[in-house]
Chains A and B, each alone.
Chain A
């Protein structure tokens, strides 16, 4: 009998990889978008089936409670983004911003990025996860610089330098963890496997773990976009193609945070180690406050939403830093909602940039009048990301604030200030963008609206009613996170 479990896992990894190779060679430009979507759909099917059939962990790959929802989320957003990207990129080729060669390159890199992210989520080996995150960084760097304008090249270069430094620091932390583990478990692959690490974490040398965690938080934290290591994020989002901004915000930041969470689990299991909480709380709060104030100074729409991503990543890190069942639960939910909402917003921003021909917010006015579907989609998305009820993010922010208030009221107040400042900035901008008399170019929108509204509907539905099975699962993982 063929083992379906491992087969599914292999499918999740090798469908993207295979299609990357295929897409790089496929000559016909019009079909590459469709092929991309098809490949993403199959990957989504494979990962959804993991809910039913769970393979046993191997030396290199593992599917456990912690990563299964992230895998499904990852493949789902990848699928919807590929739907959006198919029509969006076709329009870019029409306007001449992209040549057909770069089209093939783009799609091949897209699938390679999916492969890398899935591998990072599925990896049971610390080193393998690191290699996967590095590969993801590399592919996104190449894609950020896709348009080859000076600003795009600068953004790609900055991203490369900062990302590589982060990767290097993360590798040093990984080596430290291996050192701590090999003293207890023995040398070899066992000392790098997650399931083994968590089981034996209590016996590790706490000082080594402390140093390792500092390096890991700084290293992977650069990829999450935590202040003060965030400098690459606004440029990368503003200059890359919009589907890539959606994937960066919605998926890659999550994958990097997932890596930090895995290590946090190992740290929490060790009683002598430094509590990882205060570090994460500090970085998270700093990110929220900094991003909230920077929102006022943005003139480029993508840049503004990039800072919003930094803010939300800060909130999530803050929540996981506070720890405890409720805050962890809220953090996990927030990761999911933010993924869906931010990618929906970037879909709409992509439409806007195409119809208006600019990303400068001063030139975009009155969207609800000129393009009603698009305008109201943006309004809905902005309301969701800002945390207004009944959208899901309101509930998670509420949970985080209340659970923080019970333990550290001062921090809760600081967080609320940050959230309110961000709310003010985003709503102020939204007012100018969506309402008022329209002016500027008004090309008809040609890309598909379905992904955007699909995401927003999900977030709205989840805000009102979350199925008990899902709630139970999230609570279970929240307890595991410690």
Chain B
């Protein structure tokens, strides 16, 4: 594998981690949607590049799905939902931004320390991409934990998905990647529809203890 291919793949994967951090940082809903569209674009570019250097044309389909569904359809749909349902435009977080960012850096370091020694026998590209995809997955998990909003939890989940797509393409020659990414996309699409149909505005957290008691089914 020549230097340029490796460098470009590394650039895309590293860029994906950077965009995941940008996702963590957002505190406005529409900004979050735009950054997520960017996330999906970077993932589809990365997968398309992998398709090119691995000579695996079926990965182009995965890249196209990621681009069309996640970079265009879902952000537009979520945008409409936010406007229609009147969801709050700011995102409340659990813990400060600074703490979340530091935790994010810790997670990236952790995933690098875990993945690199384990994959010692695989190729350079696989090792790097797996380390970065684990980092993206963990950052997506952090985002889901530190947000109080249904929409931002979905976006966190979709960024986990993007990390998984990156991991699946990094594992050379894995069959069924296209099918798996289709399955995931269907899952998310149905949920987005579900949010709209069931009008889930907020996550069901509220400070009112009476409401809390009621929604915990009376008592645990």
Contact = CB atoms under 8 A, between A and B. Distances in A.
A131 B118 CA distance: 26
A474 interface: no
A189 B168 CA distance: 14
Contacts of B117: 207
Nearest to B195: A157
A108 B21 CA distance: 41
Contacts of A134: 183-184, 187
Contacts of B168: 171, 175
Given A161-B157, A168-B161, A189 B187 contact: no
Contacts of A207: 117-118
A154 B195 CA distance: 11
Interface in A256-281: none
Interface residues of A, number: 47
A298 B216 CA distance: 11
Given A150-B215, A151-B217, A161 B176 contact: no
A202 to B, nearest CB: 16
B215 A234 contact: no
A188 B150 CA distance: 38
A171 B219 contact: no
B204 A171 contact: no
Interface string A272-305: 0000000000000000000000100111100100
Contact of B180 (A130, A153, A234): A130
Given A183-B122, A211-B114, A300 B218 contact: yes
Contact of A157 (B137, B200, B218): B200
* Chain B interface bracket (under 10, 10 to 19, 20 to 34, 35 or more): 35 or more
A207 B219 CA distance: 44
Interface of A is mostly: helix
A164 interface: yes
Interface in A141-160: 142, 145, 148, 150-151, 153-154, 157, 160
| Most chain B CB inside 10 Å of its own CB: which residue of A142, A179, A183 | A179
Interface of B: 114, 117-119, 121-122, 126, 130, 134, 137, 141, 144, 150, 153, 157, 160-161, 164, 167-168, 171-176, 179-180, 183-184, 187, 190-191, 194, 198, 200, 203-204, 214-215, 217-220
Given A178-B174, A179-B171, 10 more contacts: A130-B180, A131-B180, A134-B184, A151-B217, A171-B180, A172-B137, A175-B167, A298-B219, A299-B217, A300-B219
